[in-house]
């Protein structure tokens, strides 16, 4: 939007749009006059929905916040700090709010307490995955040749055996070798295969995955589509992103249905959003696509929360531990990352994909 089409208020504060810090501009009556892009991302709301609302309405403890706000207005203090929870869509988050007096306006800076920790965790996770993936690829290459030798020997032995009962043993050996070979191939494949890029709308993937899931779990789980239809087309590998989204959704479905205590109303939400000026893997992007899978299952087991993306780590007795690891690898090939938050009753996995080159 050019400066000639902006309102006078927006023109005055538009430089704040370049900041990653959440900025809210309010008048002395406490009514919101403007918010920047980072604030829209934090609250998952459009700028228009803020205008005219009271700042206090954003906080869970409205009375305590109002007292802090009144302090800066009545005493003309330079700045006042407040910590409390903000109400987001289906969730809450604790922030530190610093209010500054600027002529006839109050400027608020919101700093999510977990934001820095999440950024550091994402960078650490990416580095860990690089080490694990390289280790497993090297191991897989070392295992492939012996497996081929074992299979060949078993086939030759099968031809020499006259007793059909003994041939059953060689068939078991061959079958198990083939199973291990497939596992090895899955460990190696993401690194060997390049991206087949094309331009498409991300909701083509969402709808395809929704159709598959709805057919498989019809009547057992309710799937809710929450799409932002304004998201522009993305340039990516469509087949790989289908696999990523399907793996994450499949994990969510299996977690719900495999819960020790039955979930009363099993539900999975497929959500798409755009994050503006978002910090992803230590780089700032003007737009980042966020594909979310939100379920009301029991949550990721506490003993694997820090290792959930590591190869061969699983919380299910019959799981391979490769689904999320491979999904993370495929997303990283696109320059993105998968992150998650989990508590009993609400787990959200987010696929974050840059829509363009980074700016910093």
Summarize pLDDT for 118-143 with one digit per residue, the tens.
556 666 666 666 666 666 666 666 77
**Mean pLDDT along residues 288-304:** 89
| CB 58 within 8 Å of CB 84 | no
- In whole angstroms, what is the distance from residue 166 CA to residue 163 CA? 5
CB burial of residue 325 (10 Å; 0-12, 13-18, 19+): buried
* pLDDT of amino acid 56: 93
* pLDDT of amino acid 276: 72
Instruction: Confirm or reject CATH 3.40.50.720 for domain 197-354, answering yes or no.
Output: no
- Whether the predicted pLDDT of 191 surpasses 60: no
Distances (CA, A) of 189 to 136, 193, 240: 12, 6, 12
Lowest-confidence pick of 4-8, 40-44, 54-58: 4-8
pTM above 0.85, yes or no: no
Find the farthest-apart pair of alpha carbons in the chain and give their distance in angstroms, rounded. Answer: 99
* pLDDT of amino acid 1: 41
Mean pLDDT of the chain: 81
**Mean pLDDT along residues 113-119:** 58
- Higher-pLDDT residue of 106 and 151 is 106
Class of domain 3-113: alpha beta
- Higher-pLDDT residue of 82 and 51 is 51
* pLDDT of amino acid 13: 79
């Amino acid at each position: 939007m050019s400066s000639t089409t902006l309102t006078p208020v927006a023109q005055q504060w538009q430089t704040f749009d370049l900041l990653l810090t959440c900025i809210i501009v309010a008048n002395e009556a406490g009514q919101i006059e403007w918010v920047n892009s980072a604030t829209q991302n934090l609250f998952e709301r459009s700028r228009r929905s803020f205008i005219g609302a009271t700042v206090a309405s954003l906080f869970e403890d409205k009375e305590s916040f109002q007292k802090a706000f009144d302090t800066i207005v009545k005493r003309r203090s330079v700045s006042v700090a407040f910590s409390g929870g903000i109400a987001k869509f289906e969730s809450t988050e604790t922030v530190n709010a610093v209010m500054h007096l600027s002529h006839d306006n109050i400027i608020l800076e919101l700093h999510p307490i977990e934001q820095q920790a999440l950024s550091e965790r994402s960078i650490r996770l990416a580095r860990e995955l690089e080490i694990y993936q390289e280790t497993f690829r090297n191991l897989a290459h070392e295992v492939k040749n012996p497996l081929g030798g074992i299979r060949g020997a078993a086939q030759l032995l099968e031809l020499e055996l006259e007793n059909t009962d003994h041939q059953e043993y060689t068939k078991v050996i061959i079958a198990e070798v083939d199973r291990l070979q497939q596992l090895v191939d899955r460990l190696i494949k993401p690194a060997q295969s390049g991206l087949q890029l094309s331009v498409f709308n991300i909701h083509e993937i969402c709808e395809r995955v929704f159709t598959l899931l709805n057919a498989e779990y019809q009547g057992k789980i309710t799937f809710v589509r929450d799409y932002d239809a304004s998201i522009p087309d993305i340039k990516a590998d469509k087949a790989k992103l289908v696999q990523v989204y399907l793996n994450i959704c499949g994990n969510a479905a299996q977690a719900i249905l495999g819960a020790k205590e039955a979930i009363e109303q099993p539900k999975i939400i497929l959500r798409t959003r755009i994050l503006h000026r978002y910090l992803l893997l230590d780089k700032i992007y003007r737009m980042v696509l966020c594909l979310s899978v939100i379920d009301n299952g029991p949550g990721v087991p506490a003993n694997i929360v820090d290792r959930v993306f590591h190869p061969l780590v699983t919380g299910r007795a019959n799981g391979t531990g490769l689904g999320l690891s491979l999904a993370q690898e495929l997303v990283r090939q696109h320059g993105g990352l998968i992150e998650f938050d989990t508590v009993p009753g609400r787990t959200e996995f987010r696929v974050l994909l840059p829509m363009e080159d980074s700016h910093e």
